[in-house]
Amino acid sequence: MSAQRFFAIALVVASSLLGGCAGMDTQLAPRTNQYVVDLPLPQGFERNDRESSYTSDGTSRRIIDVYEGRAHTIKVRNFYITNMPAQKWTPAGETLSGSVYTLTFTKGSETCTVTISKKTGTNWSPPTEIRCVIESR
């Protein structure tokens, strides 16, 4: 094998490896039109209206919002860790069980629980599901 051919192959291999690694480090961008004013949502995620609900009595609210989209669960987890404090939510806990992340945040008298997982029972390439529950403590 000539040196020129060797370097050409090495360049192609290195480019593909670096390109794959760079994509894993990118942060998800927030949507500009959120469904809930103080709940950030990554771009590319849409609300599942059948599983979402909202009630308010003027002094407290209970929100269950479910979203589906295509992103790695760790990227979604990182999105919420980064973006919730900008909406005045304080991190209060985090668990990882299997491949399900559960993040807890507090703000005033409210708690927000964000559960991030792959949606089960859909197909061979299930979307990522974000389930957000906001309620009074």
Q: Is 90 helix (H, G, I), strand (E, B) or coil?
A: strand
Give the domain range for residue 60.
28-136
Q: Considering the domain boundaries, does residue 16 fall inside one?
A: no
Q: Is residue 5 in some structural domain?
A: no
Q: Does 11 fall in a domain?
A: no
Q: Is residue 54 part of a domain?
A: yes
Residue 74: both structure tokens together: 């760790």
Which whole-number Å values give the CA distances from 4 to 7, 10, 16, 18, 48, in the listed order?
5, 10, 19, 21, 54
pLDDT at 2 over 80: no
Rounded to the nearest angstrom, the gap between the alpha carbon of residue 73 and the centroid of all alpha carbons in its chain is: 6
32 assigned to some structural domain? yes
Residue 103 domain-assigned (yes or no): yes
The residues, any chain, with a CB within 8 Å of residue 82's CB and separated by 6 or more, are: 27
Q: How many domains does the chain have?
A: 1
Q: Which token pair is 122?
A: 């859909």
pLDDT digits (tens, 9 = 90+) for 5-35: 444 444 444 444 444 444 456 899 999 999 9
* Inside any domain, residue 123: yes
Q: Hey, is 122 helix, strand or coil?
A: coil
pLDDT in tens, 45-87: 999 999 999 999 989 999 999 999 999 999 999 999 999 999 9
- Within-domain flag for 55: yes
Which residues neighbour 55 within 8 Å (Cβ) at sequence distance 6 or greater? 61, 62
CA distance 1 to 9: 11
CA distance 59 to 133: 17
